[in-house]
Structure formats: C-alpha cells, structure tokens
Structure 1
Amino acid sequence: MTALQLTNTKTRRKEAFVPLDPNNVRMYVCGPTVYDRAHLGNARPAVVFDMLFRVLRAVYGPGHVTYVRNITDVEDKINARAAETGRSIKEITDETSQWYLDDMEALGTLAPTHIPRATQYIPQMVSMIETLIAGGHAYAAEGHVLFDVRSYAAYGALSGRSVDDMIAGARVEVAPYKRDPMDFVLWKPSDAATPGWDSPWGRGRPGWHIECSAMSRELLGESFDIHGGGNDLQFPHHENEIAQSCCAHPEGEFAKVWMHNEMLQVEGKKMSKSLGNFFTVRDLFDEGVPGEVIRLVFLGTHYSKPMDWTAAKRDEATGVLRKWRAAVAGIEPAPAASPSVMAALADDLNTPGAIAGLHQLYRDGDLPGLLASARLMGLLTDEMGGWAAAPQVDLSAHAAGLAAAREAAMASKDFAEVDRLKSALVAAGVEVRMSKAGVELVPGPDFDAAKLEALA
C-alpha cells in the first residue's frame, strides 16, 4: 500500500498518514456559504481536497473513504441578500447551492459522499449546545448562547496563539452579554423576518461555528481523520470548532489531521472588487475558459503556497491539455497511475511534481500511463474533454490561397504577400503549417472566423 505523508497544521510538520480505520477513512471540508456565485478563490479548496479525495480512494479503495463537504444555508449574508432582492431565503439558497455544485462539477471534482446543509442539522446543533451548557463550557445570556473560551485550556493551539494575544491582535465583538471578549456565539435570537427555530433559549438560529461541529459529529463521529479548508478559516472558525467539539465530546479527538490551502491571487495581486480583478468561476466559463484548464492551473501550484491565476498560465494549460488529448486519442489507459505520479501525490499532495511526471510520461511516449495518471488527477477524462475538439471549419480555400502565394513568391522572391496572409491567419487563431508537402491550416483554441473575413 502506498504510504501517504501529509502536513498537519496542528503539529506544524509533515507526518505519515495513518487512518483511524483504513476501512473507513473520513474527511470533512468546510464548504460554501450560499448567497452568490462561487468566486475563483472559493474553488481552490474544492479542487485541492477533491485531489486528496482521489488519492485516498486510490490508496484505500473507493468504498473505504467518506468525504463530507457542507453547505452553509443559514447565515446573515444570506438574510441580507434576501432583504436586498425581495426573494425568499430558500429560493436564494436552493439556486446558489446548485450553482456551486454545477460549477465544481465543471472543474472535475467528484461528488463528496455527503453534502449536508446546515438547516438539516438544527436539532443536532441544539443538542450539542445543551451538552456544552451542562458541562460548564457555554452560557445563555439575553437570548444568546455563548461558548466560554476560558473553559477550554487548549484554545489557540491550532493557530499557535494565546487567548490574550488574540484579544490584543484581533477585532472582537464586544457585547454586554459576553463574559469575555473572545467568547463566541453558539445560538442567537431571530426576529420575525429572520429564519429561526425553537430552542430552550427561545426562537433563534445557530452561530456559524457550531454547524460544522454538529454535522461532522453526526456523519463522521467524535473522531475522524482529516479536516480541511482554506487557511483563512484556521482562526476563528476551525479554532472554535475544535473547542466546542472537544468540550462537548471529550471522549473523541475531533480531527486528527488538519490541512489548509493557501489563498488565491490574480496576476500577482490579491483578488478584490476594488482592484477590478474579482471574478467568479462562471465568469471564466462564460469567457470560454474550460473547467479542465482551470483545474490544471490550480494543480500547478502546491496547495500550501499562494496560487497566482494569470492569463499566461491559462494559455499554457490550454496548449498542454490540447497536446495531451491529441496524443491519447484512441488509447486505453494503463491499469493504474504511474508510480512516479503516485509518489508525488503521496508526498503531501505534491501536484506540481505529479504534473512534471505527466510531462515526462508524454516525452517518454508512455501514453497509457499518461492517460491513467492524468485521470487520477481529474484530467483527460471523457466528461471534461468536449472543449478540446477542434472547431469544425473549412479552411481549404485559405490554404489554397496561401499555397498559391508561396508558389508565386518562390519565383519573384517577394514574400510580402505570404507574410501578410500568414499574419492574418495567426491573428485569427489558426496554426499555419508549411512544408514541402503543402500548406496545412489548423484552427486553434482561440480561433475567430470573423477575423478571416478580410482574406475572403
């Protein structure tokens, strides 16, 4: 069996991965809050942990891995969007949840084993909050229930900071009902216009952090193998998850391994609306960027490093995938991925190293190995390949015209017309291949027939 090494945020070192139960390897990843389209940064953890899901399935067997990725469908941003638009909360969350699922599928991600919605697990959240109150780890105040951070001595271990340091260095909500500035909300009251559920503390709704603790416990148990998400969730979300889960269920250890992906940039800058470089996954699709291309660009950077989305990387990935797809057309994949590619992925999910292995397989002419290895990474699959088909266009007249111009130029030694025609064809996205055998014109991924009208 392949030995996996994963970097554990909790211990700050790379460790041999030993599952609690090799017959049921369990992973939980924080999913989206659904009130709008997923932006490109939202897609990175989906692709990163899909890649880990694929590797775990390859090592332990598809039937022995349970992957949970939640959907947060009760949150103040959703309430605000409903108030802005006049649409119902359910209408918004149903629509945006499906948008997210469709967009992630178009990026080649496999469906997780479970995709729980927070609103489906309110009773479990209420029960966990009751347990925390009974154990002296939470308290009710003015319709709210808050977690008593000082009651959990290990608080801050994940992010490596003390509670006092956190208070000094972070903005914390100061409210009269809080005993300590760092105490966080487990339950809060709802007015008539806000979603709410009956509870021992009155009609209200859960705080954000309790959702993941309740859903992971219900679906994976008190202890499970891996908890993942973006590094922006490390504090306070994941820190709070650990505190409330370990206090409610001290018989378990919650997540054994914590993994966090770094953030995404665009052309070397943080993605933001103020910089004009903010865009959604759907924006890229609408511009004609295939999901497979986005996936390859993502996998080209190690998950622990900031990923820079650039036009140059997009174009390079497009060319690489088109070349690989042409090479493996009609080829049957090898029974398993190449050992070199698998070894890279087993080494802390080294996707750049695995991609280097794919390039080597192509250079070596091992096309069955290339296909099997790429498919392990969610690339070169049949489902993702429609974009790569060459545009169906008749360029025979242009090829004949260029051939005639070349023949005339050979006699006159004046190649100005040949250069003009070639330049126009290239500008239209046509690859021009000229040899003694003749002229071949191949439409490329950026082919634009309208640009050829001047040559008609």
Structure 2
Amino acid sequence: MQVYNTLTRAKEEFVPRDKGQVSMYVCGPTTYNFIHLGNARPLVFFDTARRYFIYKGYKVNYVQNFTDVDDKIINRAHEEKTDPLELAEKYVREYFVDADALNVLRADTHPKVSEHITEIIDLIKKIQQQGHAYAVDGDVYFAVRSFAGYGKLSGRTLEDMQAGARVEVDPRKKDPMDFALWKAAKPGEPSWDSPWGAGRPGWHIECSAMAEKYLGNGFDIHGGGFDLIFPHHENEIAQSEAACQKPFARYWMHNGFITVNQEKMSKSLGNFFLVREILDKFPADVVRWYLLSTHYRSPLDFDDEKLVMAGKGLERIKTAIRLLYEVMDLPINEGIDTQAEDVIEKIQTHKLEFEKAMDDDFNTALAISVFFELAKDINIYLSKLNGKLTPEAKEFLDQAHALVKEFNSVLGILKEDKMTGRLILEGNQTDDTLTEGLIQLIIKIRRDARAKKDWATADAIRDGLKGLGIVLEDTPQGVRWKKQG
C-alpha cells in the first residue's frame, strides 16, 4: 500500500508501527453547531480508509476526538445563554445522528477534551520541564523558536508564517508566533485547577494529549482536513515531540477542501452547507457516494446538480444489485451454462483492480469506476440468462454478490440486513438514524435524573431499556449503548 505523507510530500509504502495493526487518530469537530459538509468529507474518507485496512486484515485502533472546550463553544453558549459544556454535549449527540446517517462506523474511542484535563496538564508540565514553554499571568505558551523542527509539516519558515498569519499581538509573549497551551480563567468560562491557576486548555494541546493516551507516540496515521496542517497539526508535532523527544505520528494524511463554484466553502462567503440541510434534500447514501467520487486529496466542488448526478450513478449500482437478487431468488433449473466460468474469471479481475486502486493512496474515485464495471458485467450476464437459474449461474451470482458486498464493505455506501446478509437498497438510512436519536434522548433524560439524584427514575430507565434488549454501559467517556446478544 502506498500512502501520501504530508510530512515528506511523497507517497510512501505503508508500514505500520506494530505488525498487523493500524493506529489512527483523526481530528473530530468542535461541537458548537451541526457538522457541515467540510466536516463530513474527512469523516467519510477516513472511515473508508479504516474500512479498507480492516478489509486487508489489519486490526485497527481508531480514535476520533470531540473538541468540547473552545472559544467558539463558549461564544455560542453565551449567545444562547446556556452552559458551554451542555451546548457541546448537545452537538456531540447531533453529530452521531449525521454520522450514523452517513454510515460512518463509531470510533473505538471518542475522547472529549473536558474528560482529559489531567492528561493535558501533565503534558504541558512535561513540555515546560523540557524548556519549551513558559508561564505568564496564569497563561502558558509554547516557545516556538525553541523547537528546531517547527515548520516541517507545512514546509514554511517561521518568517513566512509570521508574515502571512493574523497573529494576536500580546506583549507578554516572547515571540508573536508562540501559541497558548493553557489559558487563564475568565468570568463565565469553564475552568479547571492547574499548577498555573484556574484555566482551560489551548486548542492544539488537546489532540496531542488524547492521541498520546490512546495510541502512544509514533502511532501510524494522523488525519484531518487540509486546513489543519497549519497551525493545528504543525503545533501538535512541536509540542508532542518537544515533550517526548521522539516522533509523534508516522504518516500525516489530509483531505482537500470542499469548494462551491470553485471557491472554498466558508461562512464569510455565505456558501456554507450543514450536512443536516443536505440530508433533507438528498439520501445519505448518495451524499457518501458523492464525497468518495473524487480522490480525497483533490478539491471537491459542491452543487446540487453534482449530487443529482451522483444519485444517478449510484442507482446504476443499485439496479444491478436489485436484478442480482431477483435472479438469485429463482428456482434452480437443470442445464449447463458454458459462459459462467469465463465470466466468473472476468469479474474476479475486478477485485484485483479495486484493491490496486485503494492500495494507491486510497483512490476511491478509481475504486468506484471498478464498481461500475462490475455492475456492468453483472447486467450483461443476467441479460443472457433469460430468467433461468442454472447451477453454474448460481455460482456466478454467489461470487458476484460476495464481491459486491466486499466493495461495499470498504466504501460503506449501503447498509446490510443482518438477518439476510443482503444489502439494503431502499430506505437505507432512516430507521437506524431514528433509533439512535431516540436512544440518545432517553440517555439524556436518565443523565438529568442522575444529576438530580433521582436514582429511582434513572434505574427504571436503565432496566426498561434492558427489557427491550438495549444495554447501557457507563464508561469514563460517557454512556454507551448496545443491543443485547
């Protein structure tokens, strides 16, 4: 497998830290609003990369965080006259509604900043002990010029960065480019006790601390959007490697921007689209198909017409699968199908082509074109059967179906019926999304009851869900649920 590494600006052979295992950390959203299309692209792409590693036989440890302590959250909470952590928790729940609709697998761990303050403080102390940070009036800053490798990810010098950056002028800083590791408490903001006084973490230190806790240093892949290269990921490298004196992550992967009429999507331009709004107009499987139809490192231009075209393309795949199922349900007739062996051999070449595409830096666009070729061959073969299912034809259909499911297991477009093993072609998203939303609502009601020490109600909710086959698990990362058995 070849992976493009932003750090080296080249494709490299993927060699994991631990044989047979892949460790991945992907930056998640700052939870102050519903996720937008720019959030959805890395969400879907890195989910697909994870799926492909699983397909290749790797055991994957996938971590995706939530930034639930941040200036944007605090500002939004003040506007809405609510508690910042409650606001953040609300949008964590809303995130899962959209992510589940897009068929994104849950991460192995979804850490939140607010639950990792101890680890963050410990990492800042390490950085300070190594001589790379200094405290001023309750704030702690990273001394950028003390770290010799600063700029190696973005490929820019400090002088270039300073000239092009909008840096807040603070006379207390030793250098304008120094960035905050810890911010002194201000009225109306969440804060925690620390060696430097009450305060809260800076943005960049959060991911460094959580990645180190769950994956250790030198983990395999750190992912995110292209806009995170600088300053977020550049600063992560600096502070982590300054603290531990060893490489932080082996491969840095970044997806390209979403553009609208060739301009970067942004709030200031008014071309900003929430996933929730898009899902009101287009099926979620079409949105995912569209997001994967362009190579992840290329810009992806958005408009409704492109989603309409994506929907037509996906329907071609669904039609082939639908016809496949219709014929698979026919009774087997006696007879010999001499073309089946040749066609089986031909469609197996698609498996090699699909893997070749994905092995080349996760080329989902090319992999989708292979999926189209498979659908085309299925349609051609079915048209020659004339409604007769011979034993040879049954073997072809079984192999074709297995290959369709393999491709889909990587691309994650369609959900699978666990009872029949078949892909769900209609009404693909609604039921699971509704179920998740309802259970999360019940979990919130139970959490509120526990906060009020109403143990009877909390226990009744837990026991009632258990009676319905839903088990709640109270973990350090929050309440999780699973179906019993």
1:28–1:227 contact (8 Å) kept in structure 2? yes
Quick one: which of 223, 227, 234 aligns to 1:239? 234
| Matched residue SS, 2:24 | strand
Q: Identify the residue that residue 301 of structure 1 maps to in structure 2.
A: 294
Q: Identify the residue that residue 282 of structure 1 maps to in structure 2.
A: 276
| Matched residue SS, 2:56 | helix
Q: Report the alpha carbon displacement of residue 276 of structure 1 after superposing the two structures with TM.
A: 4.1
Output the CA distance in 1 between the equivalents of 2:304 and 2:188. 45
Q: 1:114 aligned to 2:109? A: yes
1:371–1:380 contact (8 Å) kept in structure 2? no
Change (3 A) 1:153 1:67: same
Q: Identify the residue that residue 350 of structure 1 maps to in structure 2.
A: 363
1:18-29 equivalences under 5 Å are: 18-29=15-26
Output the CA distance in 1 between the equivalents of 2:177 and 2:73. 25
Normalised by the length of structure 1, the TM-score is: 0.80
Letter of the 2:19 counterpart: P
Output the CA distance in 1 between the equivalents of 2:413 and 2:119. 39
Change (3 A) 1:307 1:344: same
Q: Identify the residue that residue 437 of structure 1 maps to in structure 2.
A: none
Q: Identify the residue that residue 74 of structure 1 maps to in structure 2.
A: 69
Q: Report the alpha carbon displacement of residue 243 of structure 1 after superposing the two structures with TM.
A: 0.4
Q: Identify the residue that residue 408 of structure 2 maps to in structure 1.
A: 374
The answer for unaligned runs of 5 or more in structure 1 is 390-456
Change (3 A) 1:140 1:7: same
2:357–2:363 contact (8 Å) kept in structure 1? yes
Quick one: which of 173, 186, 190 aligns to 2:181? 186
| Matched residue SS, 2:176 | coil
Q: Identify the residue that residue 256 of structure 1 maps to in structure 2.
A: 250
Compare 202-211 and 191-200 and name the one that shifted more. 191-200
- How many pairs were matched up? 381
Q: 1:314 aligned to 2:354? A: no
Q: Report the alpha carbon displacement of residue 387 of structure 1 after superposing the two structures with TM.
A: 3.3
Q: Identify the residue that residue 386 of structure 1 maps to in structure 2.
A: 426
Letter of the 2:300 counterpart: M
Q: Report the alpha carbon displacement of residue 223 of structure 1 after superposing the two structures with TM.
A: 1.4
Normalised by the length of structure 2, the TM-score is: 0.75
Q: Report the alpha carbon displacement of residue 283 of structure 1 after superposing the two structures with TM.
A: 0.2
Root-mean-square deviation (CA), in Å?
2.0
- Counting aligned pairs with the same residue, the percent is 46
Spell out structure 1 runs of 4+ moving beyond 6 A: 334-337
Q: Report the alpha carbon displacement of residue 370 of structure 1 after superposing the two structures with TM.
A: 3.0
Q: Report the alpha carbon displacement of residue 318 of structure 1 after superposing the two structures with TM.
A: 1.4
1:48-447 equivalences under 5 Å are: 48-61=45-58, 64-250=59-245, 252-273=246-267, 275-287=269-281, 289-329=282-322, 331=325, 338-365=351-378, 367-368=400-401, 369-382=403-416, 385-387=425-427
1:155–1:243 contact (8 Å) kept in structure 2? yes
Change (3 A) 1:276 1:126: closer
| Matched residue SS, 2:135 | strand
Output the CA distance in 1 between the equivalents of 2:270 and 2:186. 37
Q: Identify the residue that residue 403 of structure 1 maps to in structure 2.
A: none
Q: Report the alpha carbon displacement of residue 171 of structure 1 after superposing the two structures with TM.
A: 1.7
2:350–2:370 contact (8 Å) kept in structure 1? no
2:4–2:253 contact (8 Å) kept in structure 1? yes
